[in-house]
């Protein structure tokens, strides 16, 4: 689906309808940006070094991705607090879950 702007179905499956092709890298080039294309991690490292060294204007690093390819679950937890004070039972339950997750959180960096 690279190079297109699809309209996802409610289940996030790829659309069956025809999509409009868009080349964002070519668009950036027409606006005067230098475009570096990266297909591998090694390419990305080289592109980042080139972009950092380039002082002649804007640089875009173009990386093709598959919007439908997922990553495996790594059982991470984001600290997004839930309201402490609420009358709604759902919010109160969510706060209790948040507090339990917070207690289980491990600290890898010592506090100053």
pLDDT the model gives residue 4: 52
Query: Under a CB-based contact definition with an 8 Å cutoff, are residues 68 and 93 in contact?
Result: no
Nearest to 25 by CA among 48, 54, 2: 2
Q: Where are the domains of the chain?
A: 1-70, 72-107
Alpha carbons 63 and 85: distance in angstroms, whole number: 44
State CA 2 to chain mean position distance. Answer: 16
Q: How far is CA 99 from CA 33, 75, 87, 95, 105, in A?
A: 47, 17, 17, 6, 10
Each residue's pLDDT, cut to its tens digit, for the chain (112 residues) gives: 455 555 556 666 666 666 678 889 999 999 999 999 999 999 999 999 999 998 788 999 999 887 777 777 766 767 788 999 999 999 999 999 999 988 888 777 666 5
Structure tokens at 54: 């380039």
């Amino acid at each position: 689906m690279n190079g297109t702007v699809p309209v996802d179905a409610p289940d996030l499956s790829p659309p069956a309808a025809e999509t409009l092709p868009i080349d964002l890298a070519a668009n950036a080039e027409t606006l005067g940006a230098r475009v570096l294309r990266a297909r591998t991690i090694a390419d990305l490292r080289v592109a980042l070094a080139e972009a950092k060294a380039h002082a002649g204007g804007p640089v875009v690093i173009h990386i093709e991705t598959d919007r439908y390819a997922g990553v495996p679950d790594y059982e991470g937890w984001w600290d997004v607090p839930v309201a402490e004070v609420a009358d709604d039972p759902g919010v109160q339950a969510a706060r209790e879950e948040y507090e339990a997750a917070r207690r289980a959180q491990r600290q890898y960096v010592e506090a100053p």
